Amino acid sequence: MPMNNPFDNPAFSMSALSTAINILPNNYGLLDQMNLLPIKPVRFRQIAIEEKNGVLSLLPTLPVGSPGSVGVRGKRTLRSFVIPHIPHEDVVLPEEVQGIRAFGMESELQSISNVMVEHLQTMRNKHAITLEHLRMGAMKGVILDSDGSVLYNLYNEFKINPTVVDFKFSNEKLDVKKFCLEIKRHMELMLQGEFMTGVKCLVSSAFFDALTSHATVAKAYENWQTGLALRSDMRNEFTYAGITFQEYVGEASDGTVTRRFIEQGEGHAFPLGTVDTFATYFAPADFNETVNTLGQPLYAKQEPRKFDRGTDLHTQSNPLPMCHRPAMLVKVTMS
- Specify the higher pLDDT residue, 59 or 25: 25
Question: Where does residue 188 rank: exposed (0-12), middle (13-18), buried (19+ CB within 10 A)?
Answer: middle
**DSSP three-state, residue 253:** strand
How many whole angstroms separate alpha carbon 279 and alpha carbon 40?
A: 7
With contact defined as beta carbons under 8 Å apart, do 305 and 140 qualify?
Answer: no
Which of 20-29, 212-221, 272-281 has the highest average model confidence (pLDDT)? 272-281
pLDDT in tens, 143-157: 999 888 999 999 999
Query: Cα dist. 11→3, 152, 188, 192 in Å?
Result: 18, 39, 51, 50
> What residue spans define the domains of the chain?
8-52+78-334
Average pLDDT over residues 177-202: 93
Of the listed ranges 20-29, 68-77, 197-206, the one predicted with least confidence: 68-77
User: To the nearest whole percent, how much of the chain has pLDDT over 70?
Assistant: 84
Q: Which distant-in-sequence residues (6+ apart) come within 8 Å of 91 by Cβ?
A: 305, 310, 311, 312, 313
Q: Taking Cα atoms as reference points, which of 30, 69, 77, 29 lies closest to residue 51?
A: 77
pLDDT at residue 14, rounded to an integer: 92
How many whole angstroms separate alpha carbon 326 and alpha carbon 52?
A: 15
Residue 49 pairs in a beta bridge with: 79
pTM, whole model, 2 decimals? 0.87
Q: What are the backbone angles phi and psi of residue 286, rounded to the nearest 5°? A: -90, 55
pLDDT at residue 56, rounded to an integer: 47
pLDDT at residue 27, rounded to an integer: 79
Instruction: Please report the beta strands in the chain, taking only residues with DSSP state E, as ranges in sequence order.
Output: 39-41, 46-52, 76-82, 86-92, 142-144, 150-153, 163-167, 198-203, 238-240, 243-247, 251-253, 258-260, 266-272, 278-282, 299-304, 311-317, 319-323, 330-334
Question: Where does residue 18 rank: exposed (0-12), middle (13-18), buried (19+ CB within 10 A)?
Answer: buried
Average pLDDT over residues 168-176: 93
For the cut 90, the answer to whether the pLDDT of residue 253 exceeds it is no
pLDDT in tens, 28-56: 789 998 999 999 999 999 998 877 664 44
CATH number of 8-52+78-334: 3.90.1690
User: To the nearest whole percent, how much of the chain has pLDDT over 90?
Assistant: 58
How many whole angstroms separate alpha carbon 18 and alpha carbon 299?
A: 5
Average pLDDT over residues 105-109: 59
Residue 319 pairs in a beta bridge with: 282
pLDDT at residue 199, rounded to an integer: 97
With contact defined as beta carbons under 8 Å apart, do 40 and 280 qualify?
Answer: yes
pLDDT at residue 111, rounded to an integer: 77
pLDDT in tens, 282-296: 999 999 999 999 999
